[in-house]
Amino acid sequence: MGKVLVFGHKNPDTDSITAAISYAYLKQQLGMDAEAVRLGSISGETAYALGQFGFEAPRLIEKAAPEVQQVILVDHNEKQQSVDDLNDVQVIEVVDHHRIANFETSDPLYYRAEPVGCTATILNKLYKEHGVEIPKNIAGLMLSAIISDSLLFKSPTFTEEDRMAAEELAAIADVDAQVYGLEMLKAGADLSGKSLEELVSLDAKEFTMGAAKVEIAQVNAIEVDDVMKRQAEIEVLLNSIIEEKELDLFLFVVTDILNNDSSVIALGRAAERACTAFNVGLTNNTATFKGVVSRKKQIVPVLTEALK
């Protein structure tokens, strides 16, 4: 078996980057020539986590072939969220915590998904199942992923299994999760110095829902108004993306990490239907989703149901 690349989704978040590093390390310990790589830019939050635990960002790739024939996906499975030439390589493993869609293989594979809040929680189990000790700095990365995906343990995606994993990892990493976590989230919510292009693409994901093509971008913020007051410029950008990708809906979600509400800008022919599904009206293309912080658990299922 030749080298295997391990990567998370495009527009990688902290879980995608750290899961690639953490799982590649585990596979190396088990004898595989595995290398963690990434499919996009590192966010401010992820850069903070990598820096705190002494890691460099993984190498950026645009294509997997012909460098390798085999890849491992972490933190995603949907083809449109993955490397562009996914069809040219063999997916031999997936470790993920999302719904399964637009994913198909010719051969049997190792697929491990669990309905938990973070890939790191599953990786924590896999280390145990294989009897491999988690190094201190990798535990720090895995803890960072759980903090990121759960908005410091407050998202409805956060399960009892995530809580136990976070406790174990914080102990190994020797970190106060609350203190460290708030600093990390603040680093990610610092939107100064971000261009609007970056804001709408940093954590954007595409979905197919029924016949509809949907893109949902999410940013965390401390001052939501600082983002929303640039609505006019943002709409120009979103409309150009809608046209270019022939989207039925672009949902731009700005999540207040302190009060846990999200302000959204919804554009595209499915925008009204989308907001109706959340029982809120769309005013001037915007709405507030009270208590909604999780794209995966609170937005994608509702939209999938509404648009199918």
Contacts with its own copies, residue ranges (CB under 8 A): 92, 97-116, 129, 296-297, 300-301, 304-305
CB 216 within 8 A of CB 301: no
Nearer residue to its own copies within complex by CB, 93 or 256: 93
CB of 231 to its own copies, least distance (A): 30
Report the 10 Å Cβ neighbour count for 233.
Answer: 11
Nearer to its own copies, 10 or 296 (CB): 296
Of 27 and 98, CB closest to its own copies: 98
Minimal distance in Å, beta carbon 129 to its own copies?
7
Q: How far is the CB of 132 from its own copies (least distance, A)?
A: 16
Q: Which is nearer to its own copies, 56 or 104 (CB)?
A: 104
Closer to its own copies by CB, 50 or 251: give it: 251
Residue-wise burial string across 112-149, b where 16 or more C-beta atoms lie within 10 A, e elsewhere: beeebbbbbbbbbebbeeeeeebbebbbbbbbbbbbbb
Q: Report the nearest approach of its own copies to the CB of residue 151 (Å).
A: 17
272 vs 234: CA distance, rounded Å: 18
- The C-alpha atoms of residue 266 and residue 212 are separated, in whole angstroms, by 14
| Token pair for 191 | 């939107």
Please, which residue, 71 or 184, has the CB nearer to its own copies?
A: 71
Q: Where are the alpha helices (DSSP H) in the chain?
A: 14-29, 44-52, 119-129, 136-149, 160-173, 177-189, 196-201, 224-228, 231-245, 271-277, 300-307
Which residues does the annotation place in the binding site for Mn(2+)?
Answer: 9, 13, 15, 75, 97, 149
Compute the distance between CA of residue 62 and CA of residue 286 in angstroms, rounded to an integer: 34
Q: Which residue has tokens 């963690």?
A: 36
Q: Smallest gap, in angstroms, from Cβ of residue 23 to its own copies?
A: 16
Nearer to its own copies, 101 or 258 (CB): 101
CB of 165 to its own copies, least distance (A): 15
Name 268's Cβ contacts closer than 8 Å, sequence gap at least 6: 242, 247, 248, 249, 250
273: how many CB neighbours lie within 10 A of its CB?
17
For the packed helices 44-52 and 177-189, what is the interaxial angle rounded to 10 degrees? 140
Residue ranges for the binding site? 9, 13, 15, 75, 97, 149
CB of 77 to its own copies, least distance (A): 9
Whose tokens are 């102990």? That residue is 171
